[in-house]
Each structure stands twice: as C-alpha cells, then as structure tokens.
Structure 1
Amino acid sequence: MKAWAAVFPHANEHCCKPRAAGVTMMIDKCQGPKATADVLAMTGDYIDHWKLSFGTSALLDEDLLRDKIAAVCEHDILVYPGGTLMEFAVLKGVCRDFMRRARALGFNGVEVSDGTIYHSAAARRDAIQFALDLGLTVVAEVGKKDPRHQPSVEELADQALADFESGASWVIVEARESGKGVGVFGEDGSVHEQDVDIIATALNSHLDRLIWEAPLKNQQEYFILRFGADVSLGNIQPRDVLGLEALRAGLRFETMKPLVEKLEQHRR
C-alpha cells in the first residue's frame, strides 16, 4: 500500500502493471547493482520498459548483466538493449547471433531501429520476425539520430505503421537523450505540435502502443495535457521517473492547474 493511500486513495489512478498504455520507458546509461536495486525499490511500480542505452550492455561482465536483467524482470518490466547495439550487429553481419545472445542473456525484449545505419524495409521486417520467433517482444524505433538527416513526419508515420504490421508491440518516436533538434522537437526542445498531430492522426488506431521519447519536463507536460495521463513516454532518466508519475497523477503544478481551473468553472 502506498504511504498516503489512507488519505488519498485515488491519488494515482494510473492503471497497474502490466500496462497496455501509459507506459514509462526508462533509459539506463550506467546504473550499477546497488543503483539498480535503489531505482527498482523506489520506482519499479512506475517503470514498464528498461532500456540499456546505446551499446552499454556490451561493456558489462556477463554475470553482472545477467543479474541486472533478472532483477529488472522480477518487477514485471520489459528490458532490452539499445537499438544502437542491434544496428552495430547489422553492420557486422551478426544480427541473428545478436538476437539469440540477447535471449540467452535473459533480455525479454529487443529494439529494432535504423537511427544511424541504412536498413532496408525487407531486412527490417526480417529482423522483427526473427526476434518474434525467438520469443522476444519487439520494440521498433523510427527516426534518425543525426539532426541533418531527419525523415519527414509522414515517413516516420509510414515506418511506424509498417513496423506494427510486421509484429512490433511498441514503436518509439526518436528524440535521443537531449530531446532537441530530432523527431518532433525543435533545437530548443520545443514541441512541433503540427508534426505530433500528423503522426497521431496517421497512427490513430495504434496510439496506445506509440512511445514518444520525451526526456524534458516541458515535453512530458505537453504530451500528458495533449493525450492524457495514459500517453506512453520514453527516454526518462532514473531520477525523473517519480516526477513523471507525479505529472501523470496531477500531483505537480503543470497538471494540477487544469484540474483547479475545471473545479473553479463548476463553482461559477
């Protein structure tokens, strides 16, 4: 039971795990065993996806990585290596070996992306299907990491639809760790609302399974106010997980203010 449940029994009505919508994807750059345990103890109830960023998991000792993955899985969390590691495997011609090894290490998910490399549509479909055959949950990512080579939002939407049709359970809209100058964000981290509208319209029937990378608070606030508390958000730093959950629950100024204004209107 949560500490304030006796006073605020409905303070957070965000549905319990496993969640079909409103997921939080946390990005893990360098959490050691003790830090991992702390994050899980404090915020494990609010984390749905745990991404080991870029190729960092390739630099860890096997026993440490296995223990970390097992601890995360115990909290009903989908854990997967960053898509950059999968792209590195594609470059080396060992994509299938990479996926087999991911499964053997205990990962229950894998990210399929082409943020840095060129990956043909057929190869991308094959990668998704092979991962599914291994019993891995597929999280696809659309978009490029280089601000100079950004696809149009229409192309992002088309790729996302193709990935869903290929069997991906979730699709992430790329924004990197900075949330600036990539995807639907401007150089200052502001949201290009028209781009969001185009993607949301094209993916209307898949919105619950679309994860918007939104590392900055103003971006998280925008998506929650635009789509509601059950919007799925990613690239959340460990230190920001509780803050995001407070935004979802209306326990911060940015999302409490609309509730206050609504109550004031009813009183008039």
Structure 2
Amino acid sequence: MTKAWAPVFGDLDVHVPKPRATGVTMILDKYLGPSEVADRLCLMGDYIDHWKLTFGTSTLLDDDVLREKIATVRAHDILVYPGGTLAEVAMARGVGRDYMRHTHQLGFNGIEISDGTMRLSSAARHDAIQYALDLGLTVVAEVGKKDRTQQQPPEKLAEQALADLESGAAWVIIEAREAGRGIGVFAEDGAVRGDDVDAMTSLLGDHVERVIWEAPLSRQHEFFILRLGPNVCLGNITPLDVLAVEAMRVGLRYETFRCEVGEIEEGTFR
C-alpha cells in the first residue's frame, strides 16, 4: 500500500522491508485487547516483526481472547510468542514439554527460551530449543540475568548467544528488562556501555544481525541505530514508541537526521 508522503519522500528504503532477516523491531504487549491490537497493526503493522506477550500475562486471558489476538498478529506477518519467564516457570514445575505443545496449539508461531531467573544447564537449554523446533515453533533465545547482582560479562553473553544460534535458535535477545537500567549492556542510569557492545559485536561477527538488543529507552535506540546502523534489531519497544523508533531508523528524527543534514545556502531552496 502506498504511504501518504510517497509523492514527496519516495520510498524510505533505508530500513529493509518485511519479511526481515535483520533490522527487526520487537514490541512488548502487557495488556492490549483484540480491538487495540487491530488498531495498532493498522497503523504500524509494517514496522513490527516480533510481538511478545510479556511475562506470564497470556495465561490470564480467556482462551478465545488469546487465540483472537494471536491470529490477528500473525495475519500481519509477525512472529508472536509468550515471554520467556513463562517458559522458565513451566520448566521449573516440570511441565516444559506440555507448555511448548500448548504454545503451538494456541496458535503461537514462536517461543522464547531463557534462563533470566532460573539456572538452566547447557544440555537442558539445547534440548529445549530442539523440542520447540520439532514442534514447528521459531525459537527466540534470550541471554542474560534479570537480577542486577548476577550480571554476566559481555563475553559470556556472546558465547551463550552463539551457542543458542548453533542449537537452532533463529534469534537471540540480550536481556535488559523493561527499565533498561543496570542490566545487560546498560549502566544504572540507562546509559549504554559502548565497550560492552563493541566486545559482543566483535565476538558475534555476522551473527550480530540475529541479535535483538532490548532497548526500552529513546537514548538507547539512538545509540544502537547510530552505532550499528538502521537495520539493528531492537526489542522491548512499547507499542506507543514503534513509529518513533521507525522514524529514527530512517532519518526522520533529530537524533539521526542531524548526522546527514548540511546547510541550505541562500537561493538554493527548492
């Protein structure tokens, strides 16, 4: 469908179009009802690639409501999955396989596997990824801990990310939680530790295109887009921020536009 400003600005093709092999935007959905989901997809479905029903919120919904939401999201070529914490709860209770089967039966096309709260051995993590793949689910792994006192060095995060990709995960998320402060590659004030990002990208090599950086704050979006380009994968974006992030990707916000603009000389206005 033609965009409203196409006659003036043409195709904003800096950001690769869907379906994207990189440059994905993952949003967090904590509470949106079916009609709200439909409205947001009407406005911004072209710019959303992953839709996470965060935490264990999807377990609190009626079966028909959840199935309707999932179907609506999938109709827009979006990978939809429950938050990784729910998988951790299931594995801790000994119902991990039941959880994965029911994830598939409900209509989800993806699943997140993480160990942000619990301890998961390398063998168990690999087996969980394989079982999900056997069910036909796209696996999104997550690396990093939610507890601020248990943060891992960037080398460890990169090592686990590579192992998960080797096991068959399609994407790997770098943990940052909703706040984006004091977790992963972020300092307590939310600033990005650039040296940590550089260390990880060096170890990840080309695989960095499959890494989703959870980055809930605007200044974090700016950092990653300027550092890694408009096709960096970003996660934990709120539904309200999707278009703002896309505008930043394609140079339609100050943070990225300022890097390319020059001075309009006298008499050259067109």
TM-score strictly above 0.5: yes
Specify the code of the residue in structure 2 equivalent to 1:67: E
1:173 aligns with 2:174: yes
Q: Distance in 2 between matches of 1:24 and 1:138?
A: 16
- Contact 2:24 2:231 (C-alpha < 8 Å) held by counterparts: yes
What is the aligned residue count?
264
Deviation at residue 38 of structure 1 after TM alignment: 1.2
Unmatched runs of 5 consecutive residues or more in structure 2: 266-270
- The secondary structure found in structure 1 opposite 2:259 is helix
User: Which residue is equivalent to 2:247?
Assistant: 246
C-alpha distance in 2 between matches for 1:148 and 1:141? 18
Whole-Å Cα distance in 2 between the matches of residues 232 and 52 of structure 1? 18
Which position in structure 2 is the counterpart of 1:212?
213
How far off its partner does 1:39 sit?
1.0
Q: Hey, what does 2:50 align to over in structure 1?
A: 49
TM-score normalized with structure 1 length: 0.96
Can you list the C-alpha shifts for 1:18-77, whole angstroms capped at 9, x where unaligned? 100100001101001121111111111100000000100011100000000000000000
Q: How does 1:148-167 map to 2 (within 5 A)?
A: 148-167=149-168
Q: Matches of 1:216 and 1:116 in 2, distance apart?
A: 23
CA distance in 2, matches of 1:199, 1:171: 13
Q: RMSD of the TM alignment (CA)?
A: 1.2
Q: Give 1:222 deviation, angstroms.
A: 0.4
Shift of 1:11: 3.2
- The residue number in structure 1 matching 2:268 is none
The percentage of counterpart residues that share the same residue type is: 62
Looking at structure 1, the residues matched to 262 and 233 of structure 2 have their Cα atoms a distance apart, in angstroms, of: 25
Please give the per-residue CA displacement for 1:185-211, whole angstroms capped at 9, x wherever unaligned. Answer: 001100000000111001012011010
Consecutive unaligned residues of structure 1, counting only runs of 5 or more, are: none
Cα distance in 1 for residues equivalent to 2:121 and 2:66: 31
- 2: CA distance, partners of 1:147 / 1:74: 38
CA distance in 2, matches of 1:262, 1:214: 32
Which residue in 2 is equivalent to 1:140? 141
Which residue of structure 1 lines up, in the alignment, with residue 259 of structure 2? 258
User: 2:188 corresponds to which residue?
Assistant: 187
Over 2 Å off, 4+ runs: 10-13, 261-264
2:25 is aligned with 1:24: yes
- Report the equivalent of 1:122: 123
How many Å apart are 1:105 and its aligned residue? 0.2
